Structure 1
Amino acid sequence: MSERAHTHRRRAGKRRMAAALTAALSLTGAALATNMMLQPAGAAPADTTAAAVAEWPTPTGSEAVSETIEVSGSYDGGLKEFHGEGDLGGGGQEEGQDALFELADGATLRNVVLGSPAADGVHCSGSCTLENVWWTDVGEDAASFKGKSSGSVYRVNGGGAKGADDKVFQFNGAGKLTISGFQVEDFGKLVRSCGNCSTMYKRDIVVKDVDITAPGKSLVGINSNYGDTATLSSIRIHGDSSKKIEPCVRYEGNDSGDEPEEIGSGPDGEFCLYSESDITYD
């Protein structure tokens, strides 16, 4: 804000000092205001710790799901919490569980909280978008992507997950999966390209602008022998000063059902595509 013009005269030196002081105060105020606008309500302006990023939504209500909800087009849950009951009441790691939500090719699921038990979370039978979807306690998997076309596109925009004993996202199908603006804590793997499905595909995975809070084992697992790629950028890892969480792990996948062999990890310029500067720790 500029100063009002004054009718009395000042010496030039004092005018320059006053102008400089006013400019400095204005810049400081603007910086503080901008910083406050970028922070969640109630957070300290300079706080970038795990506590500051873990802004989990408060559900607007609760609904028990005993039969898979099938979605075509778009489904907005209004941030209601959904949890399984009856046949969908499992929350363990048993394979083959049904999902709470089954998305048709091209469907969008937004503003949903999946509580506990969550069975097998969300299934996408083709391209899909998960927008502002949260898992408070991951069951078998948070979401599985199963499209069979190499042109399938899966997007996870915003949201978060915690309490995954193994995988958060299971990538069984073909195509490209992009995860952005997401946060995860207390997990095994953020996303795994299936290592031993009966039908194997080349899969591309992009993970960007995400917050990772330990404990966790790895961000991405890919099968380099099938040409999978993982591109990582703007990854913020909290509470892992010893850097135990592996950003990218390469496997030798197979279609025989055998356990895939881990063959390497870290950036290699061909399959695990990132540099050390793409990942920060605090």
Structure 2
Amino acid sequence: MANNHRRKLFTTRRSLIGGISAGVLVAGALTTTSMMSPASAAEWPTPSDDRRISETQEISGEVDGGMVRYIGEGDLGDGGQDEGQPPMFKLADGATLKNVILGAPAADGIHCSGSCTLENVWWEDVGEDAATFRGGNGATFQVIGGGARKAEDKVLQHNGGGTLKVRGFAVEDFGKLYRSCGNCSTQYERHVELDTIEVTAPGKDIVGINENFGDTARLRNITVKGDGDRRIRPCVRWQGKEGGGEPTESGSGPDGRHCLYSEGDISYE
């Protein structure tokens, strides 16, 4: 292929490891219907095996990883925060990746070229970002279950248009759980819906959106742990830029138009 970082290893409804079909979940994996309660820090999954990769793995169709932990090396193994790193996995439009653990280093995590579903995917030590969502205004992205920790900056990066729906997800030790791109060359109206999320301090912001581009964020059933001073901000609004430049912060908290939640939607433990 022209891009030597990528190779097509997986096809529709094939497992990443032999003998496990896409329709089978290994012991300890969560089913779609049971993912509304995110795992706590003590319940992170144990990998079934470790595999080192040095090239981006391209995914199409539906792929079950059998809870294998993938560790980057070579071009995927820097472990830094530099922009422009290749992803460990690149999902085609409409693809589903489930039951995978990303170890460290993890480069730029997962890229979705269009609509995609990430189900029971775990990031043990987020690299540049955990997942980046691309595609046009009609794209729909789902993150069901799973979790991420040790993210110096962003966990879920939304660069394309459309709507990202996250439910049953756990995050800890992070900068921002979700960020609508503040200065992409092409900007979109973006929407995010968070439901049943466990947030464990330290952390900075749960959501960051661009109000000048019409973004919205809906937050429901958010539990924040270990943040007695309530320093983690649930929703921050920005004035985004198009084609470069630094976005500027314009406000935070529920406003009935962009940050859509009430006091009762956020609980503290």
TM bin, normalised by shorter chain, reads: 0.7 to 0.9
What is the match of residue 115 of structure 1?
Answer: 103
What is the rounded CA distance, in whole Å, between the counterparts of 1:223 and 1:164 in structure 2? Answer: 21
Q: CA deviation at 1:94?
A: 0.4
Q: Deviations over 1:118-148 (max 9, x none)?
A: 0000000000000000000000000000112
What is the match of residue 84 of structure 1?
Answer: 72
Q: CA deviation at 1:189?
A: 0.1
Q: Is the 8 A contact 2:153 2:175 kept in 1?
A: yes
Aligned length: 233
TM-score (norm 2): 0.85
Q: Which has the higher Rg, Structure 1 or Structure 2?
A: 1
1:141 aligns with 2:95: no
What is the match of residue 127 of structure 1?
Answer: 115
Q: CA deviation at 1:91?
A: 1.4
Q: CA deviation at 1:241?
A: 1.2
What is the rounded CA distance, in whole Å, between the counterparts of 1:122 and 1:246 in structure 2? Answer: 25
Quote the RMSD (CA, aligned, Å).
1.4
What is the rounded CA distance, in whole Å, between the counterparts of 2:168 and 2:78 in structure 1? Answer: 28
Query: Relative to total residues, which structure has the larger helix share, 1 or 2?
Result: 1
Matched residues, percent identical? Answer: 61
Q: Deviations over 1:221-254 (max 9, x none)?
A: 0000000000000000000011100000000001
Helix, strand or coil: the match of 2:212? helix
What is the match of residue 54 of structure 2?
Answer: 66
What is the rounded CA distance, in whole Å, between the counterparts of 2:45 and 2:206 in structure 1? Answer: 23
What is the match of residue 182 of structure 1?
Answer: 169
What is the match of residue 5 of structure 2?
Answer: none
Structure 1: which 5+ residue stretches go unaligned?
A: 1-39, 41-49
1:51 to 1:144, Cα distance in 2 relative to 1, 3 A: closer
What is the match of residue 250 of structure 1?
Answer: 237
Q: Is the 8 A contact 1:73 1:106 kept in 2?
A: yes
Q: CA deviation at 1:87?
A: 1.1
Letter in 1 for 2:85: Q
Equivalence map 1:208-223=2 (5 Å): 208-223=195-210
Q: 1:57 aligns with which of 40, 45, 59?
A: 45
What is the match of residue 204 of structure 1?
Answer: 191
Structure 2: which 5+ residue stretches go unaligned?
A: 1-27, 29-37
Letter in 2 for 1:135: W
Q: CA deviation at 1:190?
A: 0.0
What is the rounded CA distance, in whole Å, between the counterparts of 2:47 and 2:85 in structure 1? Answer: 25
Helix, strand or coil: the match of 1:165? strand
Q: 1:101 aligns with which of 79, 89, 92?
A: 89
What is the rounded CA distance, in whole Å, between the counterparts of 2:254 and 2:39 in structure 1? Answer: 29
What is the rounded CA distance, in whole Å, between the counterparts of 2:104 and 2:212 in structure 1? Answer: 36
Letter in 1 for 2:83: E
What is the rounded CA distance, in whole Å, between the counterparts of 1:249 and 1:219 in structure 2? Answer: 8
Helix, strand or coil: the match of 1:144? strand
Q: CA deviation at 1:53?
A: 5.4
1:208 to 1:54, Cα distance in 2 relative to 1, 3 A: farther
TM-score (norm 1): 0.81
Letter in 2 for 1:239: G
Q: CA deviation at 1:256?
A: 3.1
Letter in 1 for 2:124: T
What is the rounded CA distance, in whole Å, between the counterparts of 2:258 and 2:40 in structure 1? Answer: 33
Q: Is the 8 A contact 1:230 1:271 kept in 2?
A: yes
